[in-house]
A and B are shown apart, each in its own frame.
Chain A
Amino acid sequence: MTTSAKDTYNILITSTSPIFHEGVKALIKRHTSQQGHITEVNNMNEMLHMLAVHDYKAVIIDNLDAEFPTLNMTELKFKYPSLKLLYIHFQTKNKKVNDRVHYLSHRATDESWKAMLNILLPSKIETQKRKSSLNLSQREKEILKTLVSGKSSKEISELLHISLHTVSTHRKNIINKLGIKTISGLTIYAVMNDIIRLDEMKGI
């Protein structure tokens, strides 16, 4: 397991200033209750080395520091396609360049940091997306029943006369709504909610 199951974050902080490190760490800890790793480096080489060796979700870079000229974005973009970058700079405006590159002023408010960390960390996006109603639609219940019966996506698409893509979409919606990822887990839910009967489960 590298990051995975516990939804831990993995952040790299780059600055020559101890105050910067302590400050950013404190902000992160204040705005998330998740577990995670923070690595601190104070030069570019070390930063590039760490990026090459470990899997990071985001890098926070001290742009106030002459030591760290704005990096060559293209290279990082190709090498680490899912890495998010946050630059802390002198200007008073916060800025978003694209989904992966952000700028925050060193005077950014607590609220700005909270919002920023929501973007940087593999946060509760899943729970935010999850519909508050846990009611599965009739179709979703049908699909769930076939899933826990051990049918493959292909078999389900043939059985219900829908495309494989549709099966896949339903499956994802079910998993998202319930927050249950394994077939075994879906089985418990299905039986307890009378979507499938115990005797129908026998022999599976």
Chain B
Amino acid sequence: MSKNITKEDILADVILGNSNILHVIERFSIPLGIENKTVASICSEYEIPLEAFITAINIYNDTSYMPEFKRDFESIPGYLKYLYLSHQYFMGEKIPLIQSLVEKLLLELNSPKASTIPTFFSKYIDEVTEHINYENELVFPYIENLYAHYKDNIPLQEAKAYSIDIYGAHHSDIEALLMDLKNILIRFVPYKTPSPILRKVIQNLFELETDLFYHTRLENEVLIPLVATLEQEIRHQ
């Protein structure tokens, strides 16, 4: 749809073109008040790996963007930090927000049968939490260790005996749950008049889904291939 965002683009205009990018800059720890600064100058000012930042904003900007493979191992810490902060956002802000809306919805529905909805959402939260903990506690430290070994010859923690291809499969159950919830709330909860609370729940689910979609793209299409390449190079040493 749009052309790729490059380092010469003015970041303020990029954001004005697509509000999703606000999440990206926050997760790279870039504060607003960015005047007419270019992507390049902001990355330099805040010491952010340029390639990682550009890849991330392009993924969030255009679904048809296909990241080209770049052997930029130095971007790995940047991606990891981004993903950690994304997780904090999901668990600390977005999901609690939806949860509180669901509680209000339950009050509004005022029916014992409707308790199935918060029960469902709790199950969803459990799955997401488990997945995020898995990444935070197993996958990312593994990658950090791998990179530290590559860069500073820190010893590999063989005890973790892990390889990056195990990691790819987890995402789809979580997506199916989210899709089902959206579908149910739109089709099967009969109201006589419009409910703003229901609308807010659904809107937030859409936003969460989109955010997770881009988040997963970054993991699957950028980080994993990069780490797989790093693993290979280390093994051949």
Interface-side segment among A31-39, A98-106, A161-169: A31-39
Q: A19 at the A/B interface (Cβ < 8 Å)?
A: no
Q: A70 at the A/B interface (Cβ < 8 Å)?
A: no
Contact B183 A182 (CB under 8 A): no
> Shortest distance in angstroms between B224's beta carbon and chain A's nearest beta carbon?
11
Contact A36 B63 (CB under 8 A): yes
Total contacting residues, chain B, CB less than 8 A: 34
Q: B123 at the A/B interface (Cβ < 8 Å)?
A: yes
Q: With a CB–CB cut-off of 8 A, which chain A residues contact B164?
A: none
Q: With a CB–CB cut-off of 8 A, which chain B residues contact A54?
A: 66
Contact A188 B171 (CB under 8 A): no
> Shortest distance in angstroms between A19's beta carbon and chain B's nearest beta carbon?
17
Q: B161 at the A/B interface (Cβ < 8 Å)?
A: no
Q: With a CB–CB cut-off of 8 A, which chain A residues contact B213?
A: 1, 5-6
Contact B176 A37 (CB under 8 A): no
The binding surface of chain B is classed by DSSP as: helix
Contact A188 B183 (CB under 8 A): no
Complex-state Cα separation, A4 to B170, whole angstroms: 12
Indicate with 1 or 0, residue by residue over B156-190, a CB within 8 angstroms of chain A CB atoms. 00000000000000011101111111011001110
Q: A137 at the A/B interface (Cβ < 8 Å)?
A: no
Total contacting residues, chain A, CB less than 8 A: 28
Given known pairs A179-B187, A184-B123, the reply for A4 and B180 (CB within 8 Å) is no
Q: A27 at the A/B interface (Cβ < 8 Å)?
A: no
Contact B184 A185 (CB under 8 A): yes
Contact A37 B220 (CB under 8 A): no
Given known pairs A8-B63, A38-B64, the reply for A188 and B177 (CB within 8 Å) is no
Q: With a CB–CB cut-off of 8 A, which chain A residues contact B65?
A: 37
Contact B183 A1 (CB under 8 A): no
Contact B116 A29 (CB under 8 A): no
Contact B120 A1 (CB under 8 A): no
Q: B16 at the A/B interface (Cβ < 8 Å)?
A: no
Complex-state Cα separation, A158 to B175, whole angstroms: 32
Contact A1 B66 (CB under 8 A): no
Given known pairs A37-B66, A191-B113, the reply for A1 and B184 (CB within 8 Å) is no
Near B by CB (< 8 A), chain A positions 147-189 give 178-182, 184-185, 187-189
Contact A5 B181 (CB under 8 A): no
> Shortest distance in angstroms between B25's beta carbon and chain A's nearest beta carbon?
22
Contact A188 B117 (CB under 8 A): yes
Complex-state Cα separation, A8 to B221, whole angstroms: 15
Contact A180 B113 (CB under 8 A): no
Contact B120 A192 (CB under 8 A): no
Q: With a CB–CB cut-off of 8 A, which chain B residues contact A5?
A: 172, 175-176, 178-179, 213
Contact A179 B183 (CB under 8 A): yes
Q: Which of A1, A184, A185 contacts B172 (CB 8 A)?
A: A1
Complex-state Cα separation, A187 to B121, whole angstroms: 12
Q: A136 at the A/B interface (Cβ < 8 Å)?
A: no
29 A-B residue pairs with CB within 8 Å: A1-B213, A1-B216, A1-B217, A4-B171, A4-B172, A4-B175, A5-B172, A5-B179, A6-B209, A8-B63, A29-B1, A36-B64, A37-B64, A54-B66, A134-B187, A178-B188, A180-B180, A182-B176, A184-B123, A185-B180, A187-B116, A188-B120, A188-B184, A188-B188, A189-B184, A189-B188, A191-B113, A198-B115, A198-B116
Known: A39-B66, A184-B123, A198-B116. 13 other contacts (CB 8 A): A1-B216, A4-B171, A5-B175, A5-B176, A5-B178, A8-B63, A36-B63, A178-B183, A185-B181, A191-B113, A192-B113, A192-B114, A198-B115
User: Which B residues are within 8 Å of any A CB, using their own CB?
Assistant: 1, 63-66, 112-117, 120, 123-124, 171-173, 175-181, 183-184, 187-189, 209, 213, 216-217, 220
The 3 residue pairs across chains A and B that have the minimum distance between CB atoms? A185-B180, A5-B175, A35-B63
